[in-house]
A and B are shown apart, each in its own frame.
Chain A
């Protein structure tokens, strides 16, 4: 089995986002900010490795973005992926919906699936935490005309090559079966699917020796016979980015009577 896992490098989810209001749509500051693997992509990698541990599989991690994406790929390799493909964009190309958008990414990924050949499963995070679009997986399934299941909270592979997926919906969980097809199954992963492992030191060291193929976006587009504009020109335009308004500072009251008095004063209680 061959599993392809596209992963995205985003601002670390534990870091406070800083927005420079003078920069308009480009306001989210990226320089000197800690970047890590998108948490949902981490879950996708973990799931791929678990599937690999159950059967046998080759897990290929793909990342599209600037030079530093190789670090993110190394994390995936240290967790247990077998090799990496890095489609390198120029340093000033932003992946957080400003320049690269899900359509362009899905178009490229379709090309990678076809270039690889024999891919049985593409596991993706259900969304990235920077743009929160949640579109890449579904667009890819559409472009490939492949069966798909989104928001997976459990994935099982049948002997016939089918995948049984439990998905999270608003009203509970739903179990669907992705029939075996000529195209890879597309599954996007939700938070509850698994708890990603910490890569161990020996595996981090081994990961350094695993192959990562780096191709520039321009070369890849040429090789796949795509149009660079189609991939790189955003379909939507970001108009404005702003920080949530700061919370007003609270006021300490000494006792219940004072609290009641304040609430009455503001007309919140009768």
Chain B
């Protein structure tokens, strides 16, 4: 104790000891750390700032989980911080949800219901990850985000940016008691430029609302994923979400034109999005100032696409939208082998060419779960599923003999031409016996039901048992092989565990969602998890694939990054993190591997 006091000189006005923690109060800032484990030293850059540092042995949970930058200890929010946040937010009663008990929070709700409300933010939707944050902030504009981050930066408070909380890798779930900054209060859509088709909105705008906004104005929002009803565009950009339109309309690195980003120290950067103020008002001219081309300086926006909130927070997004295709056709096809799937793909490229907008695969196991658990009484959809599964009379063994299902969609500008292309495509497939059955949507309802089947894969498989999820990129010719190989290996190494491998995904991108289910067992078991992960990663890496195609790293795969990236690459990544976030407050313990 004495040793630390000496290092703090005499400018520390008071010490308060509480349990194993010691709180230091410097001006208005509180610092705390575990007694006897750490060191506190003045920040060389500022006479007002203090840096707490700790020896390499584990002392606080944050350090245990490895903060990559510097050796500072982060802390959770205190009552004092809460008071500060109340003073900087324009409508604190709506913007703050906390289990910290001060007068104002007691007035709002009982502590039980506040704790209940926090669960929604502390837990991811799969239920796999759970944090223990005591404070959620829901800022309403960029300057509030900036004030919050600046304060957290100065006070070494860990921060977890959160969108719709639909991620699959726990990237938006706190590891411990970080402050959650939810962008759900920032959901304004500012407009879409009539000439360029560039749409500008707040990062908290929900994807489905962007779809309808763009559609009503004759544009197509170029990102579509299963979670569109609740996910937010800021989260989509931060995780570089892919989805079924990736192949046709390109990824977010291509469609995002501009970003507004708040850096951890509170500075706001406008990246190809000038003249937009905090409230989205476009100044100087009435045009939204994102350009399709901008070759001035380092293109920093790309660093934030897929950075999972580790170097800053995205607060506004502008995205280029193509004109809304007026004609849409969807067919569901049944193949009896993966070899035929490849022929269908080749034929689709030849016959459908530029109008093909989706080429999605689902395997037999997946569709059986959709049939068993899905469709909430929708008779017509169940009937279609029934007919699809009946296409092959009995379940074949081994699994590679079971049928595979494809959803092929076209989007174009001329319904007569598109229908005729689809017709030629399907005729060729039937004549050559590449498909054993298939359905072509005759109206909009059938079309939507076909997509509902595809979008039900994830939730329906999750209802069957605990799902060990993998999102990988592999060579197209090995698309199914990886799952089969993993299944075969696991049936030897873990023969007492009942496992079912379900595969679906975007064949054309080589992006497979491999889901290993333990039917009836709903609890994730770490031994099983480890075995499956090792088998999947080995099989993928053996083929020079990517272990995360579109879901990101979060807290699930950050450690694996160390295995697959070279030392130089990891070093530069760590340097970038340190440059933007010197105190390591942004989404701590995720994305990058722990420092060894």
Contact = CB atoms under 8 A, between A and B. Distances in A.
A75 B445 CA distance: 14
A210 interface: no
A202 interface: yes
A198 B448 contact: no
Chain A interface mostly helix, strand, loop or mixed? loop
Contacts of A143: none
Nearest to B384: A198
A71 B442 CA distance: 10
Chain B interface mostly helix, strand, loop or mixed? helix
Interface string B219-233: 000000000000000
Contacts of A196: 380
Interface in B64-103: 91, 93-94
A102 B426 CA distance: 38
Nearest to A15: B444
Contacts, number: 69
Contacts of A37: 442-443
Interface in A26-44: 32, 34, 36-37, 39
A204 B108 contact: no
B484 interface: no
Given A205-B427, A255-B108, A198 B383 contact: yes
Interface string B419-458: 1000000110110000101111111111010000000000
Contacts of B108: 255
A205 B327 CA distance: 21
B91 A14 contact: no
Contacts of B440: 199, 201, 204
B445 A204 contact: no
B383 A12 contact: no
Given A32-B326, A200-B387, A195 B379 contact: yes
User: Which among A12, A14, A39, A204 has the highest number of chain B CB atoms within 10 Å?
Assistant: A204
B493 interface: no
Given A36-B443, A37-B443, A200 B438 contact: yes
Nearest to A75: B442
A242 interface: no
A201 B430 CA distance: 8
User: Which among A39, A78, A197, A201 has the highest number of chain B CB atoms within 10 Å?
Assistant: A201
Contacts of A71: 419
B333 A12 contact: no
Contacts of A197: 383, 387
User: Which among A14, A78, A200 has the highest number of chain B CB atoms within 10 Å?
Assistant: A200
Given A195-B383, A198-B383, A201-B333, A254 B91 contact: yes
B531 interface: no
A180 B111 CA distance: 74
Nearest to A79: B442
A195 B469 CA distance: 35
A199 B439 contact: yes
Contacts of A202: 430, 437
A199 B439 CA distance: 6
Interface string A179-205: 000000000000000011111111011
A251 B516 CA distance: 44
Interface string B322-333: 000011000101
User: Which among A13, A34, A78 has the highest number of chain B CB atoms within 10 Å?
Assistant: A34
B435 A201 contact: yes
Interface in A4-59: 12-15, 32, 34, 36-37, 39
Question: 7 closest A-B pairs (Cβ-Cβ)?
Answer: A36-B443, A14-B444, A201-B438, A254-B94, A195-B379, A12-B444, A198-B439
17 contacts: A12-B445, A34-B415, A36-B442, A39-B445, A196-B380, A198-B387, A198-B442, A199-B439, A200-B437, A201-B430, A201-B440, A202-B430, A204-B426, A254-B91, A254-B93, A254-B94, A255-B93
